[in-house]
Every structure is written in C-alpha cells, then in structure tokens.
Amino acid sequence: MKKTVIAIGLDAAEPRLIEQWIEQGLLTNLARLRNEGAYGRLQNFASYRAETPWTTFLTGCSPDTTGYWGPVKLKDGTYQVDAVGAYDYGDYEPFYALGQDYKIAVFDMPQAPLAEDTNGIQILGWGAHSPQTPSHSLPVGKLQEVIQRHGTHPAFGHDHANIYSLKQVDRLHRELQEGIRRRSAICKDLLSQDDWDLFLTIYGETHSGGHCLLHLNDPRHPVYRRQGESATDYLLETYQKIDESIGEVLAAAPHDASVVVFSAHGMQANNLDLTSTFFLGELMYRWNFPGKLGFAATSTQSTPKVLSPWRQQQRSYRDIWSQKHDPNPLTRWIRTITPTKVHRIYANLLERLGLTPESDFVSPYQLQNQGGSFDWEPVSWYAPAWHKMKAFALPSFSEGYIRINLKGREPDGCVEPEDYDQVCDEVIAQIESLRSVKTGKSMVDSIIRTRNANNRCAPGMPDADLIVMWDETELTDCVESDLVGRIGPVPYQRAGSHTPRGFVLMKDKSVKPGSDLQEGHTLDLAPTILDLMNAPKPSHLEGNSLLQTAPLLANS
C-alpha cells in the first residue's frame, strides 16, 4: 500500500548548528519533529564534497558509478575548463522517476534535469542555489504559473554578498527572508493541488546563508571581529525562518504523511576557498617557474598587512588581481593603490599602445568579456601557462584539484608516463610544505591520488590526479613555505565552505519517537524515501534504507 512522504532538503545545512539550535529551543518545528521521530548524522564523500552531493542523493549512486564529478570539466584534449552543468541522468535517473503509478511533486530541486518518467509536477530553477539547470518545468507552463501567482525569488542568481560589507550582507539577508516566505506559499499551494505520493522540495537559503552569513554566527571566524560583535546573527534568523516555513508546509500536508528533513552536506567556517581557488594555483606557478611570482607576493620578514577599508568593499578576486606582480614598478604601484576602475583604464591604455608584455595570465575582466564562468576563481587566471607547467591547479568549489600535464593525455603534455609518480611525489611535497603564517601549522590534512598506472587515461575518472584535503581547523588569509615564499594576505571570498557532514530527521508511524539513528550516508536517503513510500527500489541504488536499522515501535 502506497504512503505519502514529504521530503524537505536543507541545502548545505550544518548538522552541528541544527543540533545546537534544537537543543536551545530556537528551532521549534524541527525540535517537534525530533521528539516525534528519529534523528541521525549522515556522511557524504569527503572529496568533491560540494560538486556531487545532489547527484549522489538523486541517483543513489557514487561518483565512481555515474562518472559525474561536478559541473566543471576539463575539456578532453584541451586546457579549457567548461561549465557542463548537472549530470544528464542518462544512465541513472532520479530515484523519483517511478512512472505513472506514483504522483510526484518536485519543487526547486537543484542539479536535477527534468525526469521524463515522472508523473506529476517538476519545477526547477525558481530559487535554488547553483541550480545547474535552466529555469523550467513539467508541465511546461507550471513555473510561469508559480511566478505569476507568487513572484520570483528575490536572490535567485545573485544569492551572494561581499562578507566585508554589512550593507551587502543585510541586503542578502532580507532577500533570503522574503524568498523563504514565498517558497512557503508555493509549497502550500502545490500541496493543495493533488494527493501526492511524494512531495520533495529543497531550501537553498541555508546554502546561500552559510556562504555569506556564517561569520556573524561564529566568534572564531576571522571576519567576525570586523562586524559580528555588533551585527545581528542573520544565519540563525535564516534557519529560524526556514523552521517556521517547515511548520507551515507540514500543516498543509496530510496529517498521516511520513516526513524526512535532511541535508546532504554541511557548512563551516571557510577553509577551502582561498586554499583551493588561489593559494594552490599560485604555489603551482611558483614551483613550475622558479623565481617567478604571480600574485600576492610579500616578504616573509614582514608582518602581514590588514586590508584597507576600501579594498574590503570590493569583490575579493579584484583585490587579488590588484596584487598581481608586474616587472614594471609603475604598473605594479598603480594596480596596488588604485580602485579597480582606475587600473583597468591604465591597463587598457598600455594594451592599445602595445606596451603590454605577453602574460602567463588571463584577467578576470577578460574572462568576463569572453562570457567565462570562472572569472572569480583565481586558479583559472593561470590557464594560459598550464601547457608549460608540469602540474597545475583546476577550478574547484571545495577541495584542491591538481592535474598532471601528462604526455599522451594533454595536448602539450610534458611529463613522461614513466615520470608520473615522481612528479606526483614532488607536487605533494610542495603542497605539504604550505603552512599558515598565523599558526605555523601545515594547511594539509591529506592528499589523495586518484590514478595508478592502469587508469591514468581511463574515462569516467575525475579531472584531478591529486585531491588536496585541507586541514579543517586551519583558516588563514596568508600562507608560506620555505620553498616558494609567502602568498598573501588576501581577502576571504565567502564566510563558509562545505563539509561532508549531513543529517536526517525522519518521522513515520513505524519509527520510535525521540530515537537516534545510526550514522548513515547520503546514498541512504533515496532508498529510505522509497521505503517510506512503499515504492520499488531500483537495483542500482548503492545505499540502504535507514528504516532497516531505525528503532521501530513494537506494533509496526
């Protein structure tokens, strides 16, 4: 017999915050679910933690199975990085593609192309963080109907803020609050339109808030002292607004519905952005070209500078670009002391006069003009030099990714296959030498080799030959090593970065109220939801239903 399930995802919601605020009585509706159901932690894959969680959830398969490692891909046979978007679900469909026997409503699921074999409503790209799909729906006019009735999400497509600017942070907070209010109204509206077997929706505001509001909640955060002591805890308010919305949505749902509230990964103070998207790229550049400097070179004998107020108000990548090392001292001085608009005018003048030397870098402004997707990621600025390097850093949303310039695989590969392991060893030694200027401790937790002699050119592998897992306890804007010198300080891009930790709250008439679940995996979510629905489970699902080990009532 079929059962109704309401599944609500909180995108990148941090379980430690959920647990703390439930305990403190600050999330009343989640606390009620905790008392009426079961709670447990989830673990996701530690590498590619920001790129693959939703695909893992939707397919119930690991990245090794799907061959999907994220929305960013190095184009085969080139040094060009493309934005490829979401997994196409050709081999492994979303778990809710159950055919005509089940009525399904999916609202604002990120990274989920429309699934044809689904009976019901799918509305994508209304307000999701990084949806990686177009804004569209099935039936075709359903998204426009929702927008006409409830409006657009105020922050959709620009759900970010300069974390050094309280004005921008306040603007984002207000837009997220209004977006949650509209989301709640849409969910209640959709619930009233049919008797759904599964209603699935995702709150993207926890993701956006984690990236840009987390520093207002954490006194240990490096940016907290700049504004957090006197500012409102906007992150808590975001979670509380979502908690209120969840109460409203569940009140509109069938009273006997099973409920699953979950996150597939989490968020903590940002130890990934600078390390993966800048420090690693600059380290590789200096190692490949001894004596050359790219950006943010400062003396190891000097005290790290504090960002000036006017620099804090601009995008962080612009500050990093302004610290580009230039052999021309006048150019270097103008770039360092003037606002972005001024040194861009100066740079354009030099280019028109033919006085700009050939560069190893492409500017973020050139990338913007070319319609590139990675202008804000400094590692992408080094792309013109990749073909000359033995190893280079790739764009990333989480860990650090290193590609070996392997002969026979890359178009201008310079590393012989027999030297591959030796070059990996050399790169690892360089990365492991990187330490925080603030604490003197290593920035690295571990480094994963993804390939061996038999699969260096195999399809379905991640682009990275080496995956750098950074120490979660080390947050710094300035690093150094005895091998390449000091890099930084540079401003933080975002306040929060991802963890592989998630959670699940599950309420069902068979589950013992107030009980604890064994730690599960994100792979377990799809089979759990299908189990609660009494729906068939595809054979390719790699996880297990959490109901199998959940504390059950005696009469269930």
Distance CA 88, CA 115 (A): 10
pLDDT band at 328 (very low <50, low <70, confident <90, very high): confident
Question: What confidence tens digit (pLDDT) does each residue in 73-106 have?
Answer: 999 999 999 999 999 998 999 999 999 999 999 9
Q: Which domains does the chain have, with CATH numbers?
A: 5-270+498-548 (3.40.720.10), 273-493 (no CATH)
Residues in the chain: 556
Q: What is the DSSP letter of 77?
A: T
124 CB neighbour count, 10 Å cutoff: 24
Q: Is 80 exceeded by the pLDDT of residue 304? A: no
Mean residue pLDDT of the chain comes to: 91
Task: Report the alpha-carbon angle 447-279-50, nearest 5.
Answer: 60
Q: 528: Cβ–Cβ under 8 A, 6 or more apart, which residues?
A: 260, 504, 506, 543, 545, 546, 547
Q: What is the pTM of this model?
A: 0.94
Question: What confidence tens digit (pLDDT) does each residue in 492-518 have?
Answer: 989 999 999 999 999 999 999 999 999
The sign of the dihedral angle between the CA atoms of 377, 209, 476, 481 is negative
Burial degree of 387 (CB within 10 A; 0-12, 13-18, 19+): middle
Range of weakest confidence among 178-192, 213-227, 408-422, 485-499 = 213-227
Q: What is the mean pLDDT of residues 323-350?
A: 70
Cis peptide before 489 (omega within 30 of 0): yes
Q: Which pLDDT does position 373 carry in this prediction?
A: 73
DSSP, residue by residue, 319-335: HHHHTB--SSHHHHHHH
Question: What confidence tens digit (pLDDT) does each residue in 423-451 have?
Answer: 999 999 999 999 999 999 999 999 999 99
Nearest Cα residue to 215 out of 202, 203, 232, 198: 232
- Amino acid 437 reads V
Question: What confidence tens digit (pLDDT) does each residue in 360-408 have?
Answer: 999 888 888 887 678 889 999 999 999 999 999 999 999 999 999 999 9
Distance CA 149, CA 165 (A): 34
Nearest Cα residue to 289 out of 382, 408, 404: 382
pLDDT band at 358 (very low <50, low <70, confident <90, very high): low
Write the Ramachandran bin of 378: left for phi over 0, alpha for psi from -120 to 50, otherwise beta: alpha
Identify the bridge partners of residue 469 per DSSP, sorted by sequence position: 446
H/E stretch holding 34 reads: helix 28-36
